[in-house]
Structure 1
């Protein structure tokens, strides 16, 4: 496995690569969810590139940029064992410059739900992913369904800007107890982690209601809030695949999304129906 930190070096290496390239952009603190992305990329491509870069432009003032978990040595070992060909780990000043051209997230998709709670967050996401796509020129790029809004925005970016990359969604990976894997789970103490389980339990409840014939969005959200009474629920949304609000669940075209704070830790989760 090659570890590259220099822009000119990654560009030179990429020029020599032949065949398909699978790309997994990450912010490090790798877990089983990231491994699932890497393994899928390994199955489907001749080469696998992983990037680790804690992107400052997608963090808002007061968010956990300085405290975001960093485990560089462990991440390197995980990538090596997973069969990654190239691990790209640039410095911030290599990726950003003064007075640079900037991208903006879509005016609707980028400023609802997560974008409303974290204004400007998705601007930073599209900026860094576009830069990484420019460097890696991937055949396919892999993103988790847990970050459903981000996934939709990046697919739209690829479509709208005519990028020759396939955005591949990968199902959410969960702990045995149902908690969706996230690098931020390390912030939870044992009591908070137990309370955080109410998020996935509420989504299971929603799924069971739909399977039993309930399609009314407000009724489903009410049932979910009842289960999550012990935590600070920021939003529950029932939307279609383009993130337009739904009054009734439409099978094969519905997302139910949750954002909540448990203690000081903000968590998101969803189900695709």
Structure 2
């Protein structure tokens, strides 16, 4: 596995692969890798000739300086995991390499970014779209792989690909969970032992929400019951729980049969913010 630290080196390598007729898979990450990331890398290796994994904690998508400062950074441990998973090249740039000057670009994703993460993290998706655009231009992948846990991010990137005509296929993989249901996340490393025991309540709340949807209860009643379950533990501070359309991500007021819905949640456990979601069809 080759480790590349400059944009020029990555671009030169991927252009050579393209000239040689090799298919390129890209897995963008912010590091602190877990099994969810590694499954994306393995899938990319199975479907492409070469795989680029990027590790870059992108400052422009953080609106909380402490969150950026405390985000786990484990480049040596990550590199040791990547080669056996099928990574061909690890792109490990500095902030100065990715942003030689402050970015002035501004994206507008309309209603897609006005709800949930976009509403609670102003500027977050502008930072995501900026760095993902840079990675797409530098690596020119045939396929790019993302996890479903970041559902709204995937929707934003799908719109980005369509609007800017990126010549690639976006591949989304289901959320990978711990044995107790907690969605795997790099931020889980920051949970205290007590908070880690409480964190699976987020998935339990999603399962309760799904059960109530299938019972054809009213949306307002479902949201009240899910909030009650979560707020029963004072260690959990709910930021939002929403029932949304899987494509538009807009809130649903009335549930109808054969409708594809997503239950989406964000909550704080002490100073760690976690998100999760569950997608299914209303029966």
**Structure 1 residues not aligned, in runs of 5+:** none
Is the deviation greater in 120-129 or in 37-46? 37-46
CA distance in 2 between counterparts of 1:217 and 1:83 reads 44
Number of the residue aligned with 1:253: 260
SS in 1 for 2:70: coil
CA distance in 2 between counterparts of 1:105 and 1:125 reads 12
**Structure 2 residues not aligned, in runs of 5+:** none
CA distance in 2 between counterparts of 1:147 and 1:105 reads 19
CA distance in 2 between counterparts of 1:63 and 1:112 reads 23
TM-score (ref. length: structure 2): 0.92
1:244 maps to 2:250: yes
Match of 2:82 among 69, 72, 79: 79
CA distance in 2 between counterparts of 1:41 and 1:249 reads 36
CA distance in 1 between counterparts of 2:156 and 2:162 reads 10
SS in 2 for 1:150: helix
- Residues 154-191 of structure 1: CA deviation (Å, up to 9, x unaligned): 00110111111111111000000000011111111121
Paired residues of 2:25 and 2:145 also in contact (CA < 8 A): yes
* Structure-2 change in CA distance of 1:92 and 1:161 (3 Å): same
Match of 2:270 among 263, 266, 269: 263
Number of the residue aligned with 1:159: 162
CA distance in 1 between counterparts of 2:11 and 2:278 reads 38
CA distance in 1 between counterparts of 2:12 and 2:217 reads 53
Paired residues of 1:42 and 1:83 also in contact (CA < 8 A): yes
Is the deviation greater in 11-20 or in 169-178? 11-20
* Structure-2 change in CA distance of 1:105 and 1:168 (3 Å): farther
1:137 maps to 2:143: no
Number of the residue aligned with 1:234: 239
CA distance in 1 between counterparts of 2:209 and 2:172 reads 22
* Structure-2 change in CA distance of 1:124 and 1:43 (3 Å): same
1:67 maps to 2:70: yes
Match of 1:173 among 160, 171, 176: 176
SS in 2 for 1:228: helix
- Residues 70-93 of structure 1: CA deviation (Å, up to 9, x unaligned): 111110011111111111001111
* Structure-2 change in CA distance of 1:187 and 1:108 (3 Å): same
CA distance in 2 between counterparts of 1:252 and 1:75 reads 39
CA distance in 2 between counterparts of 1:259 and 1:115 reads 12
SS in 2 for 1:203: helix
SS in 2 for 1:256: strand
* Structure-2 change in CA distance of 1:131 and 1:215 (3 Å): farther
Following superposition, the deviation at residue 111 of structure 1 comes to 2.9
TM-score (ref. length: structure 1): 0.95
